[in-house]
């Protein structure tokens, strides 16, 4: 390029032309290659979720043998069990339970003492959380079960707990199971039978189980 032309063309325009030429050479496809490959990153935004399996109703049958043994101070430790029905939703659960208490002193127990009843596999959980933990809690919404036509006969729930993964309490924290895992849980109800003066089917107790990622 002559000095005269160089003087007429601004220096910045020459720099832009050079840059464009470099960019064009960088993005130009390799037309003489017989095969090509490339690498690119893929990201997946995986969501949190909680799935809680439940029964619409749990009918508990207290064993008369277990109750008699408890009242007369014999050792009794048991919890009602039933088949794990994967994917159960709703429906009724009929379960025979023992009194989940250890009595080893051989003396007559005070029937005024509340009894703990345990029902295993009463709920099931599948969850994924950002922290890796899920919180499960239980609350008694209606604590009294009445005997229809029973003239004031009733059974009351004083306390309720959930248990799973070696944890037990009104609120527990369990590891998230992942998409394919399934955690089975137990409920414990502490009942007061002082006002239960007649045998029969008492009804009206309502409990609520809540599972949430934390």
Q: Residue ranges per domain, the chain? A: 49-213
Most confidently predicted of 23-27, 59-63, 126-130: 126-130
Q: What is the pLDDT of residues 194-204, one digit of tens each?
A: 899 999 999 99
Start-end of H helices in the chain: 3-8, 11-27, 64-71
Q: How far apart are CA 212 and CA 73, in angstroms?
A: 41
Q: How far apart are CA 59 and CA 193, in angstroms?
A: 17
Q: Where are the beta strands (DSSP E) in the chain?
A: 49-53, 57-62, 92-97, 115-128, 133-142, 144-146, 154-164, 167-169, 171-175, 183-192, 206-213
Q: What is the pLDDT of residues 147-170, one digit of tens each?
A: 998 788 999 999 999 999 889 999
117 by Cβ neighbours in 10 Å (0-12 / 13-18 / 19+) ranks as buried
What is the model's pLDDT at position 206?
Answer: 94
The β-bridge partners of 80 are 119
Residue pair 76/99 in contact by the 8 Å Cβ criterion: yes
Q: What is the pLDDT of residues 107-144, one digit of tens each?
A: 445 555 677 788 888 899 999 999 999 999 999 999 99
Distance of CA 6 to the CA centre of its chain: 77
Three-state SS at 43: coil
């Amino acid at each position: 390029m002559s000095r005269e032309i160089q003087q007429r063309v601004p220096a910045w325009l020459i720099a832009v032309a050079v840059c464009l030429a470099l960019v064009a050479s960088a993005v130009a496809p390799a037309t003489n290659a017989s095969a090509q490959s490339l690498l690119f990153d893929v990201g997946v935004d995986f969501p949190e979720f909680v799935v809680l399996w439940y029964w619409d109703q749990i009918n508990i049958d207290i064993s008369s043998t277990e109750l008699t043994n408890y009242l007369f101070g014999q050792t009794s430790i048991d919890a009602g069990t039933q088949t794990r029905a994967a994917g159960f939703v709703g429906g009724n659960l009929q379960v025979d339970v023992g009194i989940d208490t250890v009595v080893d002193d051989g003396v007559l127990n005070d029937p005024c003492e509340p009894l703990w009843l345990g029902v295993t596999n009463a709920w099931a959980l599948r969850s994924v959380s950002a922290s890796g933990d899920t919180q499960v809690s239980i609350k008694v919404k209606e604590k009294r079960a009445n005997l229809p036509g029973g003239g004031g006969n009733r059974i009351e729930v004083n306390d309720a707990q959930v248990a799973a993964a070696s944890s037990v309490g009104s609120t527990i924290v369990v590891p998230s199971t992942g998409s394919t895992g399934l955690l089975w849980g137990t409920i414990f109800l502490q009942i007061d039978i002082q006002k239960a003066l007649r045998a029969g089917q008492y009804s009206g107790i309502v409990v609520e189980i809540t599972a949430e990622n934390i």
